[in-house]
A and B are shown apart, each in its own frame.
Chain A
Amino acid sequence: MPKPAEPAVKKPVGEQPENPAQLILDGAVASNQWNLLPLGGEAQITADSLAPGKVILPLSLWLELREQLHDRREEIGVWLDSDETADLLGDDAKALPLIAAHFPAFTDGRGFTLGRLLRERYGYTGELRAVGNFIRDQLTYLTRCGFNAFAYQGDEPLENLLGSMRDFNDSYQAAVDQPLPIFRRRALD
Chain B
Amino acid sequence: MYRYDEQDHALVRQRVAQFRGQTERYLAGELKEEEFLPLRLQNGLYVQRLAPMLRIAVPYGLMNSAQLRRLAHITRKYDKGYAHFTTRQNVQLNWPNLEDVPDILAELAEVEMHAVQTSGNCIRNTTTDQFAGVARDELVDPRPYCELIRQWSTFHPEFAFLPRKFKIAVCGANEDRAAIRAHDIGLQIVKNAQGETGFQVFVGGGLGRTPILGAAIRDFLPETDLLSYLEAIVRVYNQLGRRDNKFKARIKILVKAMGSEAFARHVEAEWEQIKDGADQLTPEAITWAKRFFPEPAYKSFTDGHGDAVLRDQAGEDKAFARWLERNTFPHRVNGYQSVTLSTKPTGIPPGDVTDRQLEAIAELADKYSFGEVRVTHEQNVVLADVEQEQLFALWQEARKHGFATPNIGTLTDMICCPGGDYCSLANAKSIPVAEAIQRKFDDLDYLYDLGDLDLNISGCMNACGHHHIGHIGILGVDKKGEEFYQIQLGGNSTKKASLGKVLGPSFSRDEMPETIEKILDVFVENRQPEEFFIDTYNRIGLQPFKERVYAKAS
Contacts and interface: CB of A to CB of B under 8 A. Distances in A.
Contact of B39 (A137, A145, A179): A137
B273 A121 contact: yes
A109 B160 contact: yes
Interface string B161-172: 110000000000
B38 interface: yes
Contacts of A94: none
Nearest to B14: A168
Given A180-B278, A183-B151, A184-B285, A173 B156 contact: yes
Interface string A121-140: 10000000000000101101
Q: Is the interface of B mostly helix, strand, loop or mixed?
A: helix
A23 to B, nearest CB: 20
Given A107-B121, A168-B155, A183 B39 contact: no
By size class, the interface of chain B is 35 or more
Contacts of B159: 109, 112
A183 B238 contact: no
A181 B227 contact: yes
Interface string A153-185: 000100000000001111111110001111110
Contacts of A179: 278
A183 B161 CA distance: 24
B10 interface: yes
A189 interface: yes
A3 interface: no
B157 interface: yes
Q: Is the interface of A mostly helix, strand, loop or mixed?
A: loop
Contact of A171 (B22, B38, B157): B157
A110 interface: yes
B152 A186 contact: no
B121 A182 contact: no
A186 B5 contact: yes
Contact of A186 (B7, B153, B157, B277): B7
Nearest to A85: B239
A179 B11 CA distance: 18
Interface in B153-204: 153-162
Nearest to B238: A113
B282 interface: yes
Contacts of B281: 183
Contacts of A184: 278, 282, 285
Contact of B152 (A109, A135, A156, A173): A173
B235 interface: yes
Contacts of B38: 106-107
Contact of A188 (B10, B39, B239, B284): B284
Given A106-B35, A112-B161, A181-B152, A167 B14 contact: yes
Nearest to B162: A109
A48 to B, nearest CB: 35
Given A170-B10, A188-B284, A189-B284, A113 B158 contact: yes
A183 B238 CA distance: 24
Given A82-B243, A109-B161, A116-B158, 14 more contacts: A107-B161, A108-B161, A109-B238, A110-B238, A112-B160, A113-B238, A141-B155, A145-B157, A171-B11, A173-B157, A174-B278, A175-B158, A180-B278, A183-B151
Interface of B: 5, 7, 10-11, 14-15, 17-18, 22, 30, 35, 38-39, 121, 148, 151-162, 227, 235, 238-239, 243, 273, 277-279, 281-282, 284-285, 287-289
22 contacts: A106-B161, A107-B38, A109-B121, A109-B158, A110-B239, A112-B157, A112-B160, A113-B238, A121-B273, A140-B157, A167-B14, A167-B18, A168-B11, A168-B15, A171-B157, A172-B11, A172-B152, A173-B152, A173-B157, A174-B279, A182-B7, A183-B281
